[in-house]
Homo-oligomer: A and B are copies of this chain.
Amino acid sequence: MPPPARLLVDGMAAGALSPLDRGLAYGDGLFETIRLVGAAAPLWPRHMQRLRESCVRLRLPMPDEALLAREAAAVSSGLADAVVRITLTRGVGERGYAMPASPQPTRIVAAFPAPAPYSGEGVRLRLCRLRLAEQPLLAGMKHLNRLEQVLARAEWDDPSIADGVLLDAAGRVVCTTMANLFAVIGGRLVTPSLERCGVAGVARAQVLATRDAEVRDLALGELAHASELFLSSSVRGIVPVRSMAETVYVPGPVTRDLQSHWRGLGFPTEHI
């Protein structure tokens, strides 16, 4: 029996993408990166909610959610710990930025093995030089225009540094290249507002829905006074931060409590 197809394009195995797809031409589309545990995807409804809301903002037709679920199950079949990426584009269009009157979106569903868990007592972060541009019309969405993240991630190649903190042009903390950031400051759980830039992560939404947290502008200097710092990521879960640049942190009760919540959702224990 052949192994299951790990990639479907509009439902077809071994499907390829038209070089005229607007997803390539303009980054005209969205994606979701979904952690599976066996056949379960504990945060699936939140992924679908973000995709639905972003489709409205980008005027893309939302695909059928049951179809996406079937395709995600098909591509990840047999993988114990998979990450499924769903990419949705505005499909093939004529040359030019104008949206086609009747778009035929392209749907790509692909499975990858989940990354190995982080080891040690929390991850090391650096501060990126790149400052995120402020574009309220795109802020929050996981769209396909990700050159800023590519350039920011290229700032370091030390494998002991897990991620980089990104500021906006005004010097406010926004997120990291691949996760959202939470800090405990003065006993309060705080996460940056994402009205101007940054991706509103699904794991962040889960934290905000179940914990009392402040969403507000966060100055870089405040991080030095945080008693706890952690990342939230749909792929990695709740990840304690051991250090950001020169500041050292110790995973505390808020972080540990959320890690426990994550295990309760069905995710495996991260060993940090």
Contact = CB atoms under 8 A, between A and B. Distances in A.
A70 interface: no
A12 to B, nearest CB: 11
Given A97-B177, A177-B97, A19 B9 contact: yes
Interface in A21-58: 21-28, 31, 33, 58
The 3 closest A-B pairs by CB, nearest first: A27-B27, A16-B16, A133-B133
A144 interface: yes
A178 B95 CA distance: 12
Contact of A25 (B25, B87, B177): B87
Interface stretch (A146-154, A200-208, A224-232, A242-250): A146-154
A137 interface: yes
11 contacts: A7-B19, A16-B19, A17-B18, A25-B87, A26-B144, A26-B149, A59-B154, A97-B177, A98-B153, A138-B148, A143-B147
A96 interface: yes
Contact of A137 (B21, B138, B151): B151
A83 interface: yes
Given A16-B17, A19-B7, A19-B110, A85 B89 contact: no
B134 A130 contact: no
Given A16-B18, A144-B26, A134 B134 contact: yes
Nearest to A7: B19
A16 B10 CA distance: 15
A2 B26 CA distance: 31
Contacts of A268: none
Interface of A: 7, 9, 15-28, 31, 33, 58-59, 83, 85, 87, 89-90, 95-99, 108, 110, 112, 130, 133-135, 137-138, 143-154, 169, 177-178, 197
A85 B96 contact: no
B89 A20 contact: no
A138 B150 CA distance: 11
Contact of A133 (B85, B97, B135, B143): B135
A138 B147 contact: yes
User: Which of the listed residues A22, A146, A147, A169 has the most CB atoms from chain B within 10 Å of its own CB?
Assistant: A147
B23 A24 contact: yes
Contact of A24 (B89, B98, B178): B89
Contacts of A154: 59, 98-99
